[in-house]
Structure 1
């Protein structure tokens, strides 16, 4: 047992030295855990900001001007006046995300107790703003109409007082969410790439044959690659969490970072084993990349980090419970966003550990078969 641990340790050191000499891979690690997180968090906003809006005012009344004046920055650009004849052409050209059409006699009809309709045309190809922006506009219009009907400024008195309390992200800043989720996704990406590339590099350089003539077992070679590359990812992720997410972007971390690191270590055991398994199915880095990218995309998009699991088909929800990325996203969000303790996240820890044991077993069988074929 002691000899086996020594072999795993020395092989892991060899992996770290080999990675140190690979400048392209080092540059990739630095980029993925620094600028890639910053660029996504600050550039891919999901809330309504600076949306282009136009107004067709056929009423030209104080109420219609009041609605126009309520469309303020930074949510909306200053409204552009259009005529009815220009509306369709403007929407077809994609110049505006929202075009509001206030009909003639709107204020008079409303004062007479009738129920006039405002037409809101939405460019739904701008999906990031269409749904949220439409609800913003509906709320603004309702507020202004009610305040005008009551004949006074200030907050209108609703029959029911709805109090909204936003937990964990009170200002609804998308950068807080995107920064952490990008870090989580990049951990998965690097775990697959680094371990798979390490095995492919051994085969391309011919050093795998040197290992096979040594008194080493396939499990020792695999474990060495797992702990060495996993260590690099954990260190890079922690530095990114403190330096980029908290320091550069100013995102508050509510929970225990050591608990998150412990869960990440368990997750890396699972995903690095998956990377080795994928590498045994290919013979070169291009082949590995073509196989790893779709696997990562599925794990990323269907893990619950991009869209909630509840919005997916039930069969897909059940299948994704077999993926370690689903449980990783679950406990990472619970810890970092909601300050969850071990008593809350231990089922996800256990699920990741179970999937890791399965992935490691399958990867070990495949690696042994590859070794046998190379020796014969």
Structure 2
């Protein structure tokens, strides 16, 4: 068979897949959602910083210094709520989630601080959200340290004594995201997650659909090889993922959210195509274990969740146990995340990315070899 005829047959089957996807309104709606509204919703996800976090304050001292401390709780980060000095009120507010923390200023706070002693304040933090609890504690401790330094320093200066409060001044330089905009990270992370889901689910669903309708046998007795069948479905769904990614990056992320595009668009979308084909091998493999759409959905979830968890988008790979870090090498999304962030936000070129691209490609070859082997074996 000539290469031209071989490609013509594959392209004809790809056209069939596009038409079937268009007629499957549920799956088509899912594809449109994950590349548009889902990405936009991710930009408004909770950020990893404090914004108007409700904190209760019990002022038992009622002094000028205690009022100064309350005044220094910035309105941008904290929403200060005065509380009655009652344990039940505090407990109820924390249990209901009305407050994220409660700061209690004790009697004699001002006198202890002016005598350069160390007054003990109580800060009760709702740590059901660990990140938020850590940030609230850190912000409050930094404000208290600044206040005590200012007051002790002013007292020493008034007495003509040297101020013995050493300070370490840092000059941070933030690259790639100077404003620390969480939406940039959130939207790109969501895009990579949804691309992974689509690349595995769509080819798997297309192959299982043929099983459910009993048309896979008709395809196999046609002048098409099993490799042509799976390649046509994978390439058709890859083109859908590329189109969806173009809309997500060019319209949703760049125009609506303001995520910059520093690197080369050609390199970025070439890497998406490579990742889509790599992950499609997993979709083909998943379809060989499923007999209907319900089963393939469960299998895809079982595949997608470990891949995402090991990729570093939801948790730091460096914080994982050693045995889990060793498994990261078998997740194709691990390499894709580094490359996508490198191109989009850092402007990395192929010279810096090709080792990861090569490793991801080798994984894809292994997935495809196993998937096509099992697909052929099922119908012998």
Coarse TM-score class (shorter-chain normalised): over 0.9
Provide the rounded CA distance (Å) in 2 between the counterparts of 1:34 and 1:144: 47
1:345 to partner: Cα distance? 1.3
1:211 to partner: Cα distance? 0.6
Q: How many residue pairs get matched?
A: 368
Alignment of 1:190-201 (within 5 A): 190-201=198-209
**Residues 140, 257 of structure 1: alpha-carbon distance in 2 compared, 3 angstrom cutoff:** farther
1:84 to partner: Cα distance? 5.0
Alignment of 1:293-312 (within 5 A): 293-312=301-320
Counterpart residue number, 1:285: 293
Provide the rounded CA distance (Å) in 2 between the counterparts of 1:148 and 1:82: 27
Counterpart residue number, 1:227: 235
Report the more deviating stretch, 82-91 or 199-208. 82-91
> Cα deviation per residue 1:10-38 (whole Å; 9 max; x = unaligned)?
21122112212222221111111111111
- 2:51 is equivalent to residue 49 of structure 1: yes
Provide the rounded CA distance (Å) in 2 between the counterparts of 1:205 and 1:73: 61
Counterpart residue number, 1:367: 375
Provide the rounded CA distance (Å) in 1 between the counterparts of 2:43 and 2:111: 47
Counterpart residue number, 1:18: 20
- 2:145 is equivalent to residue 142 of structure 1: yes
**Residues 341, 96 of structure 1: alpha-carbon distance in 2 compared, 3 angstrom cutoff:** same
**Residues 158, 177 of structure 1: alpha-carbon distance in 2 compared, 3 angstrom cutoff:** farther
> Cα deviation per residue 1:231-253 (whole Å; 9 max; x = unaligned)?
11011101210100011111222
TM-score, length basis structure 2:
0.92
Counterpart residue number, 1:62: 64
1:171 to partner: Cα distance? 2.4
1:302 to partner: Cα distance? 1.9
SS of equivalent residue, structure 1 residue 189: helix
SS of equivalent residue, structure 2 residue 314: coil
Provide the rounded CA distance (Å) in 2 between the counterparts of 1:298 and 1:177: 20
**Contact 1:53-1:78 at 8 Å conserved across structures:** yes
**Contact 2:114-2:151 at 8 Å conserved across structures:** no
TM-score, length basis structure 1:
0.93
SS of equivalent residue, structure 2 residue 207: helix
Provide the rounded CA distance (Å) in 2 between the counterparts of 1:337 and 1:82: 49
> Cα deviation per residue 1:230-277 (whole Å; 9 max; x = unaligned)?
011011101210100011111222222221111111111111110111
Provide the rounded CA distance (Å) in 2 between the counterparts of 1:42 and 1:50: 15
**Residues 90, 18 of structure 1: alpha-carbon distance in 2 compared, 3 angstrom cutoff:** closer
1:47 to partner: Cα distance? 2.1
- 2:136 is equivalent to residue 133 of structure 1: yes
Counterpart residue number, 1:76: 78
Alignment of 1:1-376 (within 5 A): 1-85=3-87, 86-151=89-154, 159-372=167-380
> Cα deviation per residue 1:46-67 (whole Å; 9 max; x = unaligned)?
3212211011222222121111
1:139 to partner: Cα distance? 1.6
> Cα deviation per residue 1:130-151 (whole Å; 9 max; x = unaligned)?
1122212222222222223333
SS of equivalent residue, structure 1 residue 151: helix
SS of equivalent residue, structure 2 residue 124: strand
Provide the rounded CA distance (Å) in 1 between the counterparts of 2:297 and 2:28: 17
SS of equivalent residue, structure 1 residue 101: strand
Q: Which runs of 5+ in 1 are unaligned?
A: none
Provide the rounded CA distance (Å) in 2 between the counterparts of 1:167 and 1:109: 43
**Contact 1:256-1:335 at 8 Å conserved across structures:** yes
Provide the rounded CA distance (Å) in 2 between the counterparts of 1:217 and 1:333: 38
1:94 to partner: Cα distance? 3.4
1:164 to partner: Cα distance? 2.1
Provide the rounded CA distance (Å) in 2 between the counterparts of 1:17 and 1:90: 56
Provide the rounded CA distance (Å) in 2 between the counterparts of 1:130 and 1:172: 20
Provide the rounded CA distance (Å) in 2 between the counterparts of 1:266 and 1:203: 27
